[in-house]
Amino acid sequence: MAGGGIAPSKGKAYPGNMTCKVFVTCIVAAMGGLIFGYDIGISGGVISMPLFLKKFFPDVWRKEQGMSPSTNQYCTYNSETLTLFTSSLYFAALLASFVASSVTRACGRRVSMVIGGTLFLAGSAVNGFAQNVLMLIIGRLLLGFGIGFANQSVPVYLSEMAPYRYRGALNMVFQLSITIGILGANLLNYFMANLKYGWRISLGCAAVPGIIFIVGSLLLPDTPNSLIERGKREEAKIMLQKIRGIRDVDEEFDDLVIASEESKKVQHPWANIMKEKNRPQLTFAMLIPFFQQFTGINVIMFYAPVLFKTIGFGSTASLMSAVITGLVNCLSTLVSIAIVDRFGRRGLFLEGGSQMLIMQLAIAAAIGAKFGVSGNPGSLPKGYALAVVAMICVYVAGFAWSWGPLGWLVPSEIFPLEVRSAGQSINVSVNMIFTFVVAQIFPVMLCKLKFGLFLFFSFFVVIMTIFIYKFFPETKGVPIEEMAIVWSRHPYWRKFVPAPDNIDDDRKPGSGRIGIEIVKKEQDC
């Protein structure tokens, strides 16, 4: 189990500081997020560049230039190969995340990171020098394999290196770096749009974060948890002393050894995760990434420039609008990092969901009123266009401080140790499957549902917000090894998770200091 070494907190406060080594770890992890974000942002920009379309997708280019009989603008970008260009990456990432899980466990987190970076670098070279659609797709597949390895190993690496007090914040730094990657790609697309080989530079520049990621991964040490898991206890202890910046790490080290041994006893984490006592966590590990993708965010992230062009913006205005939404996405993530541990997960989920819903309805009404179903806007008044961009920005902000970062944070903090890694694999895979699905269905849905596309996603936002309201208990401030108490006290999930006294292992919820405090507080109320 890749994440098998995360130590139980049991209410303990391990000594140790945020050292320089751990800080560098953050930077490397940030590179892992950047390569993912860069790819999310780059494809939509290049497919809105006429020179790129003319070379690789001449049919779409002809439609865009008005040379083709299709008059409905909603359908301009409805091309199977064009869609494949965007979505193939996520399919490859999905496949790679399964393989990466075993490599990460057997060879260490760092090896997976280096493999991921190398595949990614190869993909950016193939794309930068692409001569035909086949090369483009092969390049995208290589990028996707790289991202699958990186997304599997980096979050595990992070949570194992981080002092436990900083685990939540470090987790969200990963999401922040995804948004920085998207913004960087949007900016580059904006500046490259009018250059003859601008699209080559946009695609090829993925090599820059790729190289930094490989070099960083080669220089970094492996985690103590992984070293213990592979029988290198001496090395692991020295490493732990180095990253915590102190000599006395015995308590944490002993817990890591126990955790590793406990996790080795679980021969079949996949069978274990299906047990009734894991029902609530499993439900969230599947539904949270599904719902995250069905907020419709990637319609904006992948296709913002195309969407803006469809609703009547010029090429440059479309790319500029994508830069603006990218900036809002990034800044709003900072808001989430700042308040998530005070405001709580539930509050953010509910507020973000309501904000997205209102904006989706407003956007559908605005686009519908101007376009109707014929998809011919004539000229779009400037004030009208600005209002649509503003509504999209408010929608993106709602996502970026709720379902964006929480979509990664919550599944990583709710599972008991013995099935945590399996749970994370489920989260990554479900996320990639539905990222692929949304990328694949957007152009055809825009063509068929027209402005109703936003209504389609708003339906899911209603469902997910009600679901959170009824079924998600607050997890803020609860150490991960104490999390079972949260489920056992929930009016619905208590059916599946035994009350603390009936839990038969030594990780009884509430057994640690903080757990006892929670129980006390609830009794006081």
Residues that bind ligand BGC (CB under 6 A): 40, 175, 178-179, 182, 292, 297-298, 301, 329, 404, 407-408, 431, 435
Tell how far CA 92 is from the center of its chain: 16
* Complex with ligand BGC: residue 53 or 93, whichever CB lies closer: 93
* Complex with ligand BGC: residue 243 or 304, whichever CB lies closer: 304
In the complex, minimum distance from the CB of residue 517 to ligand BGC, in angstroms, rounded to a whole number: 32
In the complex, minimum distance from the CB of residue 268 to ligand BGC, in angstroms, rounded to a whole number: 29
In the complex, minimum distance from the CB of residue 364 to ligand BGC, in angstroms, rounded to a whole number: 21
In the complex, minimum distance from the CB of residue 178 to ligand BGC, in angstroms, rounded to a whole number: 5
Closest-approach residue to ligand BGC (CB): 301
* Complex with ligand BGC: residue 104 or 435, whichever CB lies closer: 435
> How would DSSP label each residue in 149-212?
HHHHHHHHHHHHHS-GGGHHHHHHHHHHHHHHHHHHHHHHHHHHTTSTTHHHHHHHTTHHHHHH
What distance in Å separates the CA atoms of residue 132 and residue 121, rounded to the nearest whole number?
Answer: 19
- Which amino acid, residue 156? V
The radius of gyration computed from the CA coordinates of the chain, to the nearest angstrom, equals 23
In the complex, minimum distance from the CB of residue 379 to ligand BGC, in angstroms, rounded to a whole number: 31
Of 206, 207, 104, 197, the closest CA to residue 148 belongs to: 104
For the chain, percent helix, then strand, then coil, each to nearest 5?
A: 75, 0, 25
What distance in Å separates the CA atoms of residue 393 and residue 396, rounded to the nearest whole number?
Answer: 5
What are 504's two structure tokens? 């038969």
Tell how far CA 458 is from the center of its chain: 20
* Complex with ligand BGC: residue 260 or 360, whichever CB lies closer: 360
In the complex, minimum distance from the CB of residue 131 to ligand BGC, in angstroms, rounded to a whole number: 29
H runs (alpha helix) in 47-79: 50-56, 58-64
* Complex with ligand BGC: residue 183 or 417, whichever CB lies closer: 183
Question: C-alpha angle 287/292/296, rounded to 5°?
Answer: 130
Return the H-helix or E-strand segment holding 13.
Answer: none
What distance in Å separates the CA atoms of residue 269 and residue 260, rounded to the nearest whole number?
Answer: 14
In the complex, minimum distance from the CB of residue 319 to ligand BGC, in angstroms, rounded to a whole number: 18
In the complex, minimum distance from the CB of residue 154 to ligand BGC, in angstroms, rounded to a whole number: 14
* Complex with ligand BGC: residue 297 or 478, whichever CB lies closer: 297
What distance in Å separates the CA atoms of residue 244 and residue 420, rounded to the nearest whole number?
Answer: 24
Hey, what's the torsion of the CAs at 415, 416, 422, 426, to 10 degrees? -10
In the complex, minimum distance from the CB of residue 40 to ligand BGC, in angstroms, rounded to a whole number: 5
- Which amino acid, residue 318? S
* Complex with ligand BGC: residue 78 or 151, whichever CB lies closer: 151
* Complex with ligand BGC: residue 73 or 179, whichever CB lies closer: 179
What distance in Å separates the CA atoms of residue 86 and residue 141, rounded to the nearest whole number?
Answer: 10
* Complex with ligand BGC: residue 101 or 179, whichever CB lies closer: 179
